[in-house]
Each structure stands twice: as structure tokens, then as C-alpha cells.
Structure 1
Amino acid sequence: MFLKQLTLLLCLTGIMQNLFRSSPLSNLSDYTSISSPLLGTELPGFTTGFVEPAFVSDRPIYVLEQQCNSSDSVTVPITIGSVNAQKEIKCVQGLPLWRNSSRTINDESFQGYRKGKTAEGINEIAMAYDFQDSNEKHFNILALYNSTYQNVSYISMPFGLLRIPRSLNAVSNAYLQLVQGSGVQMLLDFTKEMPKQATRVIINFSSVLGPLFFQWVVVLLFPVMVTYLVYEKQHKLRTMMKMHGLGDGPYWIIYYLYFLIFSTVYMIVFVIFGSIIGVDFFKINDYSIQFVFFFSFINLQIVLAFLASSFFSKVNTAQAIAYLYIFGSGLIAGNLVRNFIEGGKFPRHWITVLEIIPAFSLYRGLYELGQYAIAASETGTGMRWSDLNDHTNGMRDVLIIIILEWLVLLPIAYYFDHAASVGHTSSPLATIKRLLKKDPTSRRITVNEIADKDVNVEMEKLDIITERETVDQVLQQQTCGYAVVCDDLKKVYHGKDGNPDKFAVRGVSLALLYGECLGILGPNGAGKSSFISMLIGFVKPTSGNAFVRGFSIQNDMEKIYNSMGVCPQNDMLWETLTGREHLQFYGRLKGHSGSSLDLAVDESLRSVNLLHGGAPDKQVKKYSGGMRRRLSVAISLIGDAKVVYMDEPSTGLDPASRKSLWSAVKQAKQDRAIILTTHSMEEAETLCDRLCIMVDGSLQCIGTPKELIARYGGYYVLTMTTLPEFEQEVENLVRKISPSARKVYNLSGTQKYELLKQDVRIADVFMAVESFKKRVEVQAWGLADTTMEDVFIKVAKGAQLSEELS
């Protein structure tokens, strides 16, 4: 054991002797000759990248020697990039120390730089080695160094921090020279100085992590734009704008310019901020190259936002996928592009093919800017336009790809956006969606089958037949006095997941004159909203057609929108705009401007009782449901809309507001055609010149309120309330007055009977009841003529019964 330890001691002593140079400093004559000694510097390494800080500073380089004279110094020429300089080399004495245990080495090493004290006096431990079981045949070493040093003062010992690769290189050479002789030497041509203190934190961040981080910053506006576009589509705001005259072309120009200006300002602020805080990524590279690169990409990004929005109908889904795309594509691009470029094995032309993906082209451009920022520490200059001619520079290819993609995707995005907008559900995009969802085993009922089911029922309704004949005559003669003509309009919603098809509208034919208000009544699910939705372009008819001011809803919706006003069933409003701003916006779309616009807005607000109380200048999100409804009605009436659709306009209104609304509608219908759906019989009788009742998608009757009451209401309604034990006597009384009377209601002594008008006289009824009251206690009674509500109930129940029987 003693012999083994003695052998190890002699081996280590030889290594330590070979670790330090014995030749004078004068032998160091150039940059190459100083690559093998153990070098150091008093700079803590925060001024350059992976280049030794002392090479590019005005401070000397130190060589660690076992014995130095105070005057030992030499000047050697060095070249870094295009820079030639003279560098002073000084000697620093190093003291080799022996410790018997690894624990002692570790403790002394980590006492802290410039804090260690030994028996020999102040000792700064630059490097420690644990040779473990090393001998002449086996070299096993553990290097220890202090990684916690952060003191940047330049006092006391000037040697500073040693770089770990140089230290390992030096001890490895010392071992080789012990084993093989002094002439043997191992030189490391290139080593990254790791670990070492961070050098130019900003440069490292911007050049290494920077491309990925900057990519996320640049594309952060993409989800914002997609969300904004899908929000307007989900809430039908885009449709509302189209229905009030804003075509796809102007819509695209307005929003494209808005996104472009916003994105340009965003990128300019981003670059300026980066330059102000000293990020070489921005400060060193040519600003004109950066502007062209970022400006080209934000144009492509805007087009991609329009294209992506065509495939989404829900904001939450679009937002989630957009964020997944930008972060996921950034990570993938950061890994693939960097590895492919720096690996050198992936063909250059395939890298160019990958850059067709926008995220990859963006990362490649940012990567090139980052690499030139790194190289600027040696060359002093970043990327210039002349550098784009370098075949290793990928920026030129990136710019070409981005611009070409923008030019190609621009018309494609416009087409898909136009095809996905209102009234174009037969577009290739919708066709693809339908094919993907289509169940080939399910049977679809055809339009002819619908017609066959409806013929027998409709043939019994003379008023419906007359209306259809009027429609045929108008279409043949092309009469100009009709604002809306519906020709056998049908709508089928195909069932999903095995559910049957839903026939929403079954062959509706109507003709509506200017100055006329047509009311559509029907129970929930009767098809009223589906019928209106087809006329305003929300949905495409399954078959049939309608003509609004002579234009077909199948092909000419863009022309119809210019003369149409709509109050939809659900309020389509911007939450952050005020009521006045809504009317100003839609008023401008209708051609108003200046004082004419202000007058029209005030008049619209006054007509729906929203002009006072601060309501005009309050954001819509602070409106009550009734206020929103009144604002929607005002929007539909502003301007010179010749055809106005109102889907249950008075829903949620108090009686006073309802009366005010009715007055506005009466005044507006003087020179317009209005189609109105409602559940209020009072509203229907007050506003509508004609009424039609829909049940299960079919028209059951049509005519003026008086005509319908006369046709379906040829009876009186006798209501009498007595004690329950007198119910039979009441019934006997009614049978005596009218043998054909029909009981329609009976509950806890209250009975209601329908008496045919031709069977009774009102005087006879009063006399019979007065005589009856002398024998039986009558708590209440009444005789009423038929109301529109009675007609509605009778027609609806009759149609439903016929449907069940068929």
C-alpha cells in the first residue's frame, strides 16, 4: 500500500510540474502560440460571446506560471475577424498545493473566490483537481471549481476566473507529457467555454432564445385577429353589416387596413423598444431589412387570419386552436429549423421547402437576424442588403416565400371568406363540411316528397290557393308594385346522429305590396323564424325562390341588402358601442352623412324612446333587454330601407315602450313593405294589414284580421261561473239557447261555450241568463265576440289535428 501511494505521489508531482510552462514569455509570439498555455483574465466575462473577454478589451491576458518575475510581460499580435491588435501578455504565479482528501479539496474550493486562506497566506483557488485512482496507466480526474463567484471588482489578485475547458486541456497535456515525454501535446482546436459566467446576456438571449421568443411576440396578434373576425360571425354582426349594405369588398378593405395599421404600429414599437434597451438583434441589423421582413410577414399573417376565420363558427374554438398553433408551431420550428441548419446534413433545398409553412419562414428569418447579431461581436456589423447575396444567408429565400404566399393566399382567403358569409352555404367549403358529416346510410326526404305531403292539405284552403295564384300572376307579368314575392319556398334541416329530417318551411307562397305590413303568426317551432331567415339571407332555401324588389334571394342577396332593414329575433349588437354609435354606423351604411345623419339618428332614438336619460351614449352592455330590443328596431328602420323584416320586435317591452314602438312602425310602413312575426295578437291586429298563420311550416290561412275573424270566428263565446253542483243546469241552459253549442272549457264551475251566430240572438241570450239567475246563483258570466286569439288557437289546433290524422 505504501509503495502504491508513493507511486501515485510521484505521478501527481510530475503532472503538477508539467502543468505550468517553463519557457519564457518571449516564446509567445502570435495568437496561435497563446492557445495552449493556461490563460486567464481579470474580466469576469460579461462583454463578449464565447470569445475570451481579454482578447477584445484593453486589459492584458495572463499566463499561469509556477515562477514569475514582476517584469515578465510580452506583446503579441492577434487577429479577431477583421480586427488586428497588439495584446499584452503577463505572467501570474500559481502555487500548486497538495491535499490528502477530496473532502478537503471540495471545502477549500467552495469557500468562495477571494475568500480562501491557507497556511501559506492568502490563496485564491483558481482550480482544483481530484486525481482519484490515476497512475501511469490510468488517468481519472475530477475537476472542481467555484461556480458561485459574482464579484466583478478588479482588485487584489488579477487572475480572475479560469475557464474549465482550458484547465482540463492543461492537466490532460501535463499527464500525456509525464507518460509519453515532453514533446507530446494535445491541442483542442475549438471548445465552448462552458460553464462560464453569462457573457452579454442580451446578445445570448436574443440570438439563442430570441428567435423563438420573438416569433411568439410577432404572431401574438394572430389569435387576436382571428377572434375578432369569428366573434363578428358568431354573433351575426357581419351579417347585420351585410344586410345594411356593407359588401364583402369594403368589409375586407376596412378590416385589412385596420389590422395592417395596428400590426405595423405594434411591430415598430417592438423594434424601437428592443433598440432602446440595447438588444443587438434590432440595433445592429439594418432597420430597412427588418421593416421589409416584418411588414411582409404581418401582411401574410392578416391573410392567414381571414382564411382561418372561415373555418370557425365559435370564438372559443377559434381562440384555443389559434393559440395552440402559434405556440406549437413556434416550438416545432425552433427545434427543426435550428437543428437542420446547424446540423449541416439536411439538404438546403428541403429547408427552403419547409419554409413554405409560415411559422418556419418566420423563424428562419429571425434566426438569420440572430446569427448576424452574434457575428457582430467580431465583425462589428449586422445584416446588410449585400449579405442577402450570400448563399448561406436564408433571408432572401424567406422574403421571396413570404411575399409569394401572401399573393397566392390573398385571393384564396377572400374567396373562402366570401363563400362562408351569409347566403353562400352552397359554397365548396359548406359542401366539404356536408360531405364530411353526411351519413351515406340515412335516407333524405326529397323536396318532391314534401310537396306531395302538402298538396292535399293546401288544396282545401282557398285563401292559400288564391295567394299562390296571385304569386304566379305577378311572376308571369313581372308586376312592379310588389316588394316581396315568395314562390313555393321550402326549407329542410337534415337530421343528425340518426334523427329524422325537420321540415321547417313547406312551400310558402306570398306576395307583399309596398306600404303593407304582413304579420306571421304561429306557435313556437312553426317555421316563422326559418322563413324570415331565408328572406334575409341567414340560411339558403332547400328549394323554391323569393324575389325582393325583383332580385332573387338565391343569387342576388348582395343587391337585396342595399335596400333591406332587419330586426332579428336575437339582438345583434356590439357590446362596447353605444346606442348612438350603432345608429351612426348603420346610418352611414344607408347613405346618411353630416347633419342628415345626426337628424336621422336622433329621430330613430326618439321613435323608440331611447333619446333621453343618457341612453344614447351608454354602452350596449349596460342596456336592459328591452332597451336592446328597441335599439334593434331603430337600426332596422334607419335609412331608406324599402323592405323591413321584424322578428318578434316587441319581445320583452313594457306596455309604454310597446305603444311607442307600434307608433314608429305605423309611421315607417307608409312607403315600405314590412314582414313581422309576433306572438301578440294585439300587436298583430294593430300593426298588420294582413295576417297569415303558420303551423308546422305550412301556411294555414291568410287575410286581413277582420276576414280571418269572420271566416274562423262565426260564433259567440259564452262564459259562466257557478258552483260546481250547478254545472249540469248551466249546460241545459246553453243547449236550450243553442242546441249546436260546443263546450270548449270546464274547470271548477267555470264553463265556456261557443254559440254559432246564426243560431242565436244576443237579446235572447241576455233574457235567458237573467231568468236563469233567479233560480241559480251565478257568480259571473259574459258574452264575447270572437277574438283574433280565438281564431289563432282554433286554426293552430285544427292544423295540428289534421297533421296527426295524416
Structure 2
Amino acid sequence: MRHQNKNYKRPSFFSQFLVILWFRTKLSIRDKKFFVLGILLPMIAIGSSVLLSEVLVFPPGSDYQRSNNNLQDNNIFVTPYNLNSQQNLLLDTMKLQYSLNYTYLDDDTDLPDYIQNKSLSSLNYGISFIGKNGLNIYYNSSIETIPTFVHSFFISLFKINGINLQLNETITVLSSEVTFDVFYLLMPMILQYGFVFFIPYFAILIVTDRDKGYKNHLILNSLRTSAYWLSNLAFDYIIFLFPTIIGWIILYSFKIDGIYSDNSGKSFLLFITFGLSAIPFGFVLQFIFDKEETANKWLYPFTSIVTSIPSALISVAFPTSTPLAVELLLSILPTFSFCNGLKALTYNNSSTVSYTILIQLLSGLIYLILIYFIDNLKKPKKNEIIFDEDSESIINNQTTVEDNDVLNEKEKIKRLIRDSDGNKSNFPKIVVDGIYKQFIQPKPTLEKPSLIEKCSGGAKVTKKNSIIKKAVDGIWFSVEKNEIFGLLGPNGSGKSTCLNVLTGILKADKGDGYLSGKSIDKDKDVFQSIGSCAQNDILFENLTIYEHLYLFSRLKSITTKTELEDEIDFYINKFSIQSFKNKKSSDLSGGTKRKLSVACCLIGDPQVVLLDEPSTSLDPISRNELHSLIDELKANKSIIMTTHSINEINQCCNRVAIMVDGKIRCIGTPNHLKHKYGSGYTIDIVPKNYLNNSFEIHNFMAQTFPSATRVERLGRFISYDLPNQNQESLATIFRILQSNKQRLEILDFSASSSSLEKVFLKFANLQEEINKQQPNNNSINNDVIN
């Protein structure tokens, strides 16, 4: 049984964190692009590296021959000639033990060329002393005597007491052919390129959330901003770890140089810390783009070029080690740090690998801090109000003529704010306190901006050089608990702008709004018990109806399995969408999508509900079901509903406000507005013969009701409007028409009080006249200010 009006509490941060992980998992599993970029490409890079290690092995030339295992009669080339006493002692010890001959060379750079150009009829070795305590050994890696030769060094070192030399081995294939070890150059770049596409893939998901309104919609429906960011970062990193760890294990199993070595632990850390830097880096990059289409077009090539080309150039310019200054300068690019660390691994440079891991950790932390600050900077900002003395404005209240009910509502809100003394716990659930929002667009001009204007970001916006549209021109109202407040108005009147300010999509240029006593402008957790349904359906294409309802119910309040199933089943049955329960939203009709959007808004028993034209795309039966459901669920809720439908107002709303040109022109109950602004009564007459009887009927109406006005109607109706000044009651009018029905040959007639529709049409005509007087404002998109 469904627990209605149970006053659910907002779930914990951890609970919301887990449900977003579940949500991202569902979307990723059904995304083909994820399989290609998140799994296939990294595995191809890993496989290419393994293949490369096998292919790029060059055998020695045909003129090579084996030498004796005892190292006797082998000539050793040594460079440089000037050696210190410790190095001379080592050579003397080797000579005594193995009867070796030494040939000294003058310059260190001569040694590799000398060995390569030397005939291999007798095996030659080379020793290059580096500094005080280091040396390189050059030998043919395919010769069986290598273990013996290396072993001789360790024996000699052991015999020399008090000397601590660091032995660095450099394996070089000696052949009569000149060889170049391409593997050490290409392997880091191939691995880097296989993982680089993680960055734009994860980043574009965030751009999509922002572009399509997913992020804002989730936050409006109680999701914490911190839970949104951290769950996305955590999920992306978990996904990154799967191919990364599997790939490292493959590389280690095939004993790839650098991965399979004494630094294997560091190589593992290098792989997993790359994600901690690369994923936040992608999240920072995504702020550059506002549209999903633009991000898809540019982010992949941008990331590929900017992150990969520096690595390639540096690898060619500095094949063994990169200067520290260059490394620090390019460490802002995670893929460069990763490539540089891989290169250091292949050359057994342990210290470089260590500080590369540290750089990746520190840069990841820096990117997280940047995400926090940029996300706050990207939030809607206030516009500087431009005064316009030629039209009504909240800045110039003296010229504004307002309805008494509107003024009373305004004074009530001001008094409420003034008497609260900072304590807003007793506020109505929704309070709108003088919200003002204008849109400013520069006028088109043929003049080129000056150099100063270019440097400062453009010319200063003024009334003379701008088109100003007052979308919301100062409005005050409140919505009590158990009340449905209808916001009615024609296109361009400012209804949607008002709701966008209340939901944080737009920031008011002046004034504030309060939801459950919390300021939209100042309180971060203002959306903790909100249900929002946007004008356009905001649904996730790869989630089913059931999964949508599961997501929003978990975000808002419901955590126990029994309550969760009861709540979901209630809305599925109430909207008659049982047969589509397991269908993805991309496969649903427009009407079913709208039902799902409203269900996602209402589920979880939110205290404040904001519905922007909820019955759009619904058939008449579904619309009536929706109206009944909203009326049924309004207990303990405060609901704002914007609409064009008079029937919706009549069936659902306790109070209604009609907006024209950004201002509330009238406010009150539907009956109050009909009585106050209605034109009296409407009389419809159907004559037996329109041509023969219409003249006589018209004369009768003119004599009996002198103030009646004939209204043009299509068909066989003759209609009259009877103003309020007429003294006759509706019963009197009906009795007069009934007594003259036969004489006037009237088939049928009706008499009714004026409808709310006529009141609405009266103000809609006013909006149309205003739009005609302000043609320049048409250039500003009315979709934003409806």
C-alpha cells in the first residue's frame, strides 16, 4: 500500500551518490560509443604494444660468431681515457682475473660507433664510465657469454672493499647493420594514444548533461551538486580502471620492458594515477563548450592534438630523458606526464617515474579545485538593470497602474518579509518577492568596435545601443500549503521566465524567491524537497519508465525497497502506462513521455511542485486524469502550474494570476476574476430560420436589453454580450427569453455568465497590442520568456 504524505526526508549524500553511480552504469552499458572508446581502443593500444615488442627485435648480422665463455683474449674498449683511482682499480682487478686487453678511447661518443663499425669476427665489449660512480656496459645481447661477462663485474666489485659503484646496464644489439631501437620511442606514445580518448568521452557526457538540462533537472529534483560531481568522477574512474588494470596485467605477463622490471610497482601506480589526473582534466576542458554538438565536433581532435603532439615532439627531441624544465611546463597535460613516465620506465629511470606519479596526483587535485570554482562561475548571473523611462517598470512605480488585488498581494509579501526578522520558518511554501528579469541584446550596427572596446570585451551596454525586454517586470505572490496556483498568460508574457528564476536556471536581476523558507539567491540547499516538470520533456533516452521513476524516487526521499515499489507502481497505474513499463523513453510517444515527466516530478512526495504546462501533448482523457491526480496529491504541497488552458485553471487551481508583458495584471480565485473582469452574460440564440428570424430577434434584443452587444459568430448562432451594468439576473434573462421563444421562432437558446476564457482573451489582446508597439523585442527569443 502506498504511503501517501509520509513527509519523507531528503536522502543522505551517500545514498544519492550511489543512485547516480547506478544511473551512470545503466546509461554506459547501453552506449555503443562507450564500448569502442572505453574498452576497445585501450585494448588495441595494449595489443599493439605487445606486438611491437615482438616485431621490433633486430637479429645480429651474418658475420657474428660466438666467443669463448671464459672471456680470455677478448678486447675491451674503455672510454674516457682519464679515469679516477677507483675506476682504474676496477679495471686492474678485472684484468688480473680474466687476462683482458683494454683499448682506451678519447671521447665517450666514439664508443658506440667504434663497436658497431668493428668487425665481429672476435667479440668486442665496451665500458663507458659516467661521472664518479656510474658506468654503461655495451655488448651483443644474443651472445651466450653475457652472463659470464656481467658476472665478472660483480666479482670484481665485491673484491674491491669500500667502493660503492652503481652499475647501469645498457643492452645494445651489435650487428654489422646499423639498428635503431624504435620500441622505446613508440610504445609510450601508442599506450598514451589508446587511453587519451577517455578524456573527451567522459567530458562530453557532462556537456550533454548541461546542454540538455539533465544536470539542472536532477539538482532541481533534490540531487546535491556535490553528489553529482563526485559520483560522476568516481564512476568514470572506476570505468577507467577496468581496461587499465587488465592492460597492465597483459603488459606485465608479456614481460614488456619497463612494465616487467624492478619498477613494476611504480609502473602500476603510473597507470592508475593517470586516471586521477586525466578525468578531472577532461571535466575542466568541458566548460569550454556549451553545446553537445560542438563538443562532439571539436573535443576529440582538440584533446588528441593538444595532448599527443607535445609528447611525440618531446620523445623525438629527447629520446632518453626530458629536461626537468620542459617536464614541469608540460605537466599540465596528463597524457604528456603519462607518456613521460612510460618512457622513464623503459629506460629504468626510477626517480623520474616517482615524481611523474606525484605530478599526476597533484595536477588531479588542482583540476578538482578548478572544477569547483568554474562551476560556480558558470552559474547564472544578474544583469545590470537598464532604466527605461518610456515604459512601465518596477523602478518607476509612480507610472504603473496596478489592480487592487495585485497591490494587496504585493503589500502582503513585503509585510511578510519585513516582519520575519530573518526567521522564514513560518513563510508560505512559495514566496515570490519582487522578481525582476530583463534580457539585453545589442542592437545590430555597421560600425566596427574600437580597439578599447575589443580589449574590454565590447561596447558598454546602454539603453541607446541595446534592445531591452522586461521578461518579468516586478511580481509578488505567494502559494500556501495545499494550494495550486495557476500562472496564466499568452506567449511572451513571462510565465516560463518566472519559473526559470524560481528553479535557478536564470538569476533574478532584482528581487528574490523563497522555497520552503530558503532563498533561491542565497541558500545552496534550496532545492532539497522540490519536484520540477519542465516545459520540454527532460528524459534519458536509454532509461526505461521504471528506471526513471526509480531514479527520481531515490533522489528525493524513498530508500526502502517496499516503499519504493509501492510508489513506482502507484504512478505507473495512475497514468495507465503499465504496458510501457520496461520501454526506453526514446521509444515512447509524446503523450506517454509527458506522463512520465509529470510522474517523475510528483514521485517522492515533494513539498514544492513546479509544473510548466504539464498537460502539453496529452489527449483529453489523459489530461483529465492528470488534473484529478494533481488535485488528489496537492495535500501538504504548494504547486505552481503555468498553462494556456482555461479548463486546466478551472479544474485544478485554487488561485490564478494572469501575466501580461512581464507583470501580473490580476490575481485571485477563478470566480473572483470572472466576476471582476467578465463582461456580464453571454446569450446564444439558435433561430428556426436564420434569414427570416434574425432581424426580428435583433430588434427584440435591442428593445429588451439596450446595453447588449451583438457578437459575430460562425454558423447559425446569434450571440450577444450583456455587460455587468445590466440589472437583470441570469434567472430573469432566462425567463424573458423562454416566454418569447415561440413568438420569435427560436429553436434553442442559452444564457451564461462570462467565462474565465473571456477574461484571459481580454488580457491576451493587451499583450498583442504591446508586442505591436515594441517590434524590436521580437528579436529576443520568446521561448525563453513565455
Alignment TM-score, normalising by the size of structure 2: 0.69
Correspondence 1:349 to 2:325: yes
RMSD: 3.8
What is the match of residue 52 of structure 1? 60
Contact residue 666 and residue 687 of structure 1 kept, 8 A:
yes
What is the match of residue 440 of structure 2? 494
Structure 1: which amino acid aligns with 2:630? V
Offset at residue 803 of structure 1 (A) = 8.0
Q: 1:739 to 1:267 in 2, by over 3 A?
A: same
Q: 1:549 to 1:578 in 2, by over 3 A?
A: same
Structure 2: which amino acid aligns with 1:417? D
- Distance across 2 between alignment mates of 1:354 and 1:733: 94
What is the match of residue 634 of structure 2? 669
Correspondence 1:77 to 2:53: no
**Where in structure 2 are the equivalents of 1:371-770 lying within 5 Å?**
371-372=346-347, 383=348, 387-389=349-351, 394-420=352-378, 424-426=379-381, 444-445=386-387, 451=393, 455=397, 458-478=400-420, 480=426, 482-496=428-442, 498=444, 500-556=467-523, 558-594=524-560, 595-610=562-577, 612-613=578-579, 615-720=580-685, 723=690, 730-746=697-713, 750-757=717-724, 758-760=726-728
User: Secondary structure of 2:752's match?
Assistant: strand
Larger mean Cα displacement after TM superposition, 49-58 or 651-660: 49-58
Contact residue 63 and residue 120 of structure 2 kept, 8 A:
no
Offset at residue 767 of structure 1 (A) = 7.1
- Distance across 2 between alignment mates of 1:502 and 1:496: 12
Deviations 1:631-667 (A, max 9, x none): 1111111223111111111111122222221222112
User: Secondary structure of 1:500's match?
Assistant: strand
Contact residue 458 and residue 464 of structure 1 kept, 8 A:
no
- Distance across 2 between alignment mates of 1:448 and 1:284: 80
Which runs of 5 or more residues in structure 1 are unaligned? 1-44, 61-72, 89-189, 373-382
Offset at residue 490 of structure 1 (A) = 0.9
Structure with higher RCO (Cα < 8 A, 6+ apart) = 2
> 300, 306, 315: which one pairs with 2:292?
315
- Distance across 1 between alignment mates of 2:65 and 2:760: 96
Q: 1:53 to 1:744 in 2, by over 3 A?
A: farther
Contact residue 333 and residue 359 of structure 1 kept, 8 A:
no
Offset at residue 512 of structure 1 (A) = 1.4
Structure 1: which amino acid aligns with 2:380? T
- Distance across 2 between alignment mates of 1:271 and 1:470: 68
Contact residue 660 and residue 766 of structure 2 kept, 8 A:
no
What is the match of residue 103 of structure 1? none
Deviations 1:363-416 (A, max 9, x none): 3233334x53xxxxxxxxxx3xxx324xxxx54453343232222222121221
Offset at residue 468 of structure 1 (A) = 0.9
- Distance across 2 between alignment mates of 1:589 and 1:329: 38
Offset at residue 192 of structure 1 (A) = 9.6
What is the match of residue 764 of structure 2? 796
User: Secondary structure of 2:671's match?
Assistant: helix
- Distance across 1 between alignment mates of 2:600 and 2:540: 13
Structure 2: which amino acid aligns with 1:643? V
- Distance across 2 between alignment mates of 1:447 and 1:276: 78
Structure 1: which amino acid aligns with 2:336? F
- Distance across 2 between alignment mates of 1:209 and 1:448: 70
Deviations 1:130-176 (A, max 9, x none): xxxxxxxxxxxxxxxxxxxxxxxxxxxxxxxxxxxxxxxxxxxxxxx
**Where in structure 2 are the equivalents of 1:269-308 lying within 5 Å?**
269-274=246-251, 280=257, 282-283=259-260, 286-308=263-285
User: Secondary structure of 1:482's match?
Assistant: coil
**Where in structure 2 are the equivalents of 1:173-192 lying within 5 Å?**
none
- Distance across 2 between alignment mates of 1:791 and 1:286: 81
- Distance across 1 between alignment mates of 2:316 and 2:58: 20
Contact residue 185 and residue 316 of structure 2 kept, 8 A:
no
**Where in structure 2 are the equivalents of 1:64-213 lying within 5 Å?**
76-79=122-125, 81=137, 193=177, 204=182, 206-213=183-190
User: Secondary structure of 2:537's match?
Assistant: coil
Contact residue 724 and residue 749 of structure 1 kept, 8 A:
no
Offset at residue 281 of structure 1 (A) = 6.5
Contact residue 340 and residue 351 of structure 1 kept, 8 A:
no
Contact residue 730 and residue 752 of structure 2 kept, 8 A:
no
Deviations 1:435-462 (A, max 9, x none): xxx9xxxx94469976358736753411
Deviations 1:513-551 (A, max 9, x none): 111110111111111111111111111111111112211
Q: 1:555 to 1:785 in 2, by over 3 A?
A: same
- Distance across 2 between alignment mates of 1:367 and 1:726: 101
Structure 1: which amino acid aligns with 2:188? P
Structure 2: which amino acid aligns with 1:365? G
Count of matched residue pairs: 606
Contact residue 78 and residue 85 of structure 1 kept, 8 A:
no
What is the match of residue 40 of structure 1? none
Q: 1:192 to 1:801 in 2, by over 3 A?
A: farther
Contact residue 660 and residue 767 of structure 2 kept, 8 A:
yes
- Distance across 2 between alignment mates of 1:460 and 1:47: 85
Larger mean Cα displacement after TM superposition, 76-85 or 531-540: 76-85
Contact residue 387 and residue 395 of structure 2 kept, 8 A:
no
Structure 2: which amino acid aligns with 1:547? Y
User: Secondary structure of 1:576's match?
Assistant: coil
- Distance across 2 between alignment mates of 1:470 and 1:506: 18
What is the match of residue 66 of structure 1? none
Q: 1:763 to 1:264 in 2, by over 3 A?
A: closer
Deviations 1:306-344 (A, max 9, x none): 212233221121222221122212552144212431499
Alignment TM-score, normalising by the size of structure 1: 0.68
Correspondence 1:244 to 2:202: no
User: Secondary structure of 1:76's match?
Assistant: coil
User: Secondary structure of 2:123's match?
Assistant: strand
- Distance across 2 between alignment mates of 1:53 and 1:330: 39
Offset at residue 508 of structure 1 (A) = 0.6
Which runs of 5 or more residues in structure 2 are unaligned? 1-52, 69-118, 127-136, 145-173, 445-465, 775-786
Structure 1: which amino acid aligns with 2:475? V
Structure 1: which amino acid aligns with 2:609? V
Q: 1:512 to 1:724 in 2, by over 3 A?
A: same
User: Secondary structure of 1:559's match?
Assistant: coil
Contact residue 470 and residue 511 of structure 1 kept, 8 A:
no
Structure 2: which amino acid aligns with 1:315? E
Structure 2: which amino acid aligns with 1:237? Y
Percentage identity across paired residues of the two chains: 27
- Distance across 2 between alignment mates of 1:350 and 1:546: 52
Which structure: larger Rg? 1
Offset at residue 236 of structure 1 (A) = 1.5
> 170, 178, 199: which one pairs with 1:222?
199
What is the match of residue 363 of structure 1? 339
- Distance across 1 between alignment mates of 2:264 and 2:676: 82
User: Secondary structure of 1:494's match?
Assistant: strand
